[in-house]
Structure 1
Amino acid sequence: MNLLNIKMEPLATTKPPFHICLSEELVKRFSLSKDVTVRCSQHSFTSSLAVSPHKENIIYCSKEVYDSLHLPYKPLHFTAQITQNDVSLGPVIGIVTEISADEEAKFGSITSFCYEILQACEEKGAFGAIYCITDLLHDDIKGYIVNEDRWEQVATPLPQIVHNRIHSRKTEHSSSFKEMVQWLTQKQIPLFNAHYLNKWFVFERLAIIEHLKPYLPQTTLLRKKQDITDALSTHPAIFIKPIHGSQGKHIFKVTKDDHKYLLDYTTFTQPYNREYETFYDLFEALYSPLKKQGFIVQQAIELQTYKDCPFDFRLLCHKQNDLQWKLTSIVARVSQPNNFVSNLARGGELYSPKMVLEHLYDQKHAKSILTLLKELAIDICQHLDASTAEDELYVEFGIDLAIDREGKPWIIEVNTKPSKQFQPEHITTRPSTKALVDYCLYSFHSDDS
């Protein structure tokens, strides 16, 4: 394939005698004919070709070309595939999420990420836009782009690959979401990270991998109150977690001693804890919240602490191609004092994993723990990816791992839509965001090859 990064620029004149202009160098390199067709996604425009003496990889197009291709009339960056009489521009990358009326937070907690991924698209030669579900179900597709530092909804071509960043599990079960998935399938448009994976599904898939079993806390699906008493007879403390939960919300921790049961609960505002004299009293307090959705009962690991606060590790992993996974980033998340979850949404703070581990262990031991954590994360991605349905595509996993007081790693959770709220001030585009765009480029060009 003849591929190159190319800039698409508006023609300077509003009434040109021609509609498409390329440099003499590009015309000679690709033996372009007098008439050329410019394509983007499902749209095209054919015109006689003008030649200019400039040497840059720029294609100048009239407003008629932009309008025909359903592109905003502004400088754009693409990866172009050029043949003798054809210039194909792409890919068109879509991010589907919820739209807010708040102009400052147009896409809720991932607003800054949306801006960041559009920047990465431009840097790497792709056109990116943000959509809500209904945007993708209209004949005339419209999406949000950044124009002069403001979000603007414009006509766009049909996306050629779509990243699901819907926040709500309820929305993912809605008829409109299912209609969108069906529509994308009919159009043969890949949708990646198609839905959340529930905790019980993840546990079952990983528990059958023999070498991963030692790193999994003992876990059962909560079906009856006996499951709680059985777990407490084996472990001094347990977690009761919603199988569809995220961000550390609605997790119960039950600790049993000789005389009472202590219940801790994560709320949006502050930790909640109560003591109960009998299991009957404890279960009565739990009954109402537990009947609303599915839960798992899980062994509570006595986690290692940093400055007397429990911590875990978030490892972001991305698919490089159809087979390979790579570790993109790793951070240590330290919980607030007297809190048992470390999620940023619950007040957790980020630290360098190397710094935290070398504070607790000698350099060699710290390095070996870090190496094992990284190997575990990649292993989890590969096995989980292989065990999902054939029509489900996953490109990004957030793997939460922790270590106990002896330094042994434990698998805490796997996220298909890891948090995008944190953005270091000194980094323009995060490696994880670049990795997502890289996969879109790989997928688009491998389909064309």
Structure 2
Amino acid sequence: MDSLLPDEADVREQRAGRTVLAILTIDDDIQLFRGNRSNFVDLIRTGQSMGFIVYVLTVKNLLLTRSSLKGYVFNEAEDSWQQRLLPFPDVIYNRIPLREDEIQPAVRQKINACRKHPRVTLFNPAFFNKWDLFEWLRLSKLTKPYIPLTRKLVSVTSLERMMRKHSYLYLKPESGKAGKGIMTIKVHAEKQLPYRLRIQENKKSTTYNCSTLHKLWSRIQKQSGNEAYIAQQGIKLASFQDRRFDLRALVQKNQRGQWDITGIGARIAGASSITTHVPRGGMIEDPEKLLINSFNEEQARKLLIKAKNAAVLIAKQIERASGQQLGEMSLDLGVDSVGNMWFFEANSKPMKFDEPHIRQKSLERVFHYGAYLARTKLEKAGGA
């Protein structure tokens, strides 16, 4: 494979004033690198059509002192990935797919080195932690009203205190993804077994009815293992045909480097699921249709505008409070049965949106923001 690599002069010629964006991931012994390959192909095609040089770069091949790096490009004719020598990137887009990959010491070390290095512009440096998100959003009077009451789940006493205020709670792993590990508690004080615990499994949930708080707590501990959890006030979400729904907003930076809404979709909970995530049996729907069904046309229109404004406000506050350079995030927002807006979750590495109009715009925006970052870096260098 190495014999096919061009020399440094070829690489310089190849750049010819074009912006270079590398998609960062990690090595894989079996399949060269990890990550969503079809997403990477879509990114490469979009970037090339917009005049960029785009390639997949692994952490191991990201050598900060080199002017050219070994990266992977997709060969359309052969439908295969090939390694080439490519110019050092102007911008690095972090798409390391899993939290476990990202917390490896060598990976964290490299990302931290990138953040400090004058040559490197990297965005989306890490996955979010759920507890941090709520802490960050509590700091601003503009975003605080969107947050349900949220506490760390540390003891049976703290759980009891929350259940006195709210008879319906969500328990979520701090580092969870796509609804994995979520549980709900409902308290029916009048019943013989007053505590109802539902645990999310693949596309369904299992319910346990517990007679005492201590039995409930030991069942929760057994389920959560040593993982850190948060407890959150349950919200009675608006529903469609007796199934709850929430909104998925995609916010990205635009060509001016400003947060902007790329699109809003909606997800309806699976028939026996406690979350709206599609891998857990959730369904994709048109948000306007669902909101009109729950409210009326005028109110639905106002709620959609409110959701878009809230998403941009929240993204700005997360970036400000995290101290990180972010370029995109997806947000889960809920509307309760009386029309209040709530924030539940943000993902710094959004999955592909299935709505075609959102999908296409989301790919282009990565490069709009990439071009902005490269231009800003050049201006700084010129002005130094």
TM-score, normalisation: structure 1: 0.76
1:115 matched to 2:36? no
**Matched residue, 2:325:** 393
Residues 265-323 of structure 1 show CA distances to partners (whole Å, capped at 9, x for unaligned) of 12235322211111111111112343512211100001111121111111000112676
Counterpart in 1 of 2:382? Answer: none
**SS of aligned partner of 1:357:** helix
Shift of 1:99: 4.8
Look up the match of 1:240.
171
Out of 281, 285, 293, the position equivalent to 2:219 is 285
The structure 2 residue matched to 1:131, chosen from 57, 76, 90, is 57
The equivalent position to 1:413 in structure 2, one of 336, 341, 345, is 345
Q: Which has the higher contact order (CA 8 A, sep 6+)?
A: 2
**1:444 aligns to what?**
374
SS of aligned partner of 1:272: strand
Aligned 8 A contact 1:91 1:160 in 2: yes
1:53-64 matches, within 5 Å, as none
Question: 2:300 corresponds to which residue?
Answer: 366
Residue 281 of structure 1: SS of its match in structure 2? helix
User: What's the counterpart of residue 360 of structure 2?
Assistant: 430
Aligned residue in 2 for 1:153: 83
Letter in 1 for 2:339: G
Gaps in structure 1 of 5+ consecutive residues? 1-62, 79-87
Map of 2:276 onto structure 1: 342
Q: Distance in 2 between matches of 1:247 and 1:70?
A: 43
| Bigger Cα Rg | 1
Q: Distance in 2 between matches of 1:102 and 1:355?
A: 45
Alignment partner of 1:188 out of 115, 119, 129: 119
Residue 263 (structure 2) aligns with = 329
Query: Greater helix percent: which structure?
Result: 2
* TM-score for both structures, normalised by structure 2: 0.88
* 4+ residue segments displaced more than 3 Å: 69-73, 98-103, 105-108, 137-140, 288-291, 426-429
Distance 1:213 1:178, change over 3 A: closer
Give identity over the alignment, percent. 25
**CA distance change for structure 1 residues 181 and 360 in 2, over 3 Å: closer, same or farther?**
same
Whether the 8 Å CA contact 1:94–1:128 is kept in 2: the answer is yes
1:167 paired with 2:97, answer: yes
Q: Separation in 1 of the partners of 2:219 and 2:9?
A: 60
Say whether residues 1:68 and 2:8 are aligned partners.
yes
- 1: CA distance, partners of 2:141 / 2:359: 38
Backbone CA RMSD of aligned residues? 2.6
The size of the alignment, in residue pairs, is 368
Question: What do the CA deviations read for 1:167-223 (whole angstroms, capped 9, x no partner)?
Answer: 222222212112322442335311111001211111111112223322211111222
Is contact 1:217–1:299 with CA below 8 Å preserved after alignment?
Answer: yes
State the 1:245 CA deviation.
1.1
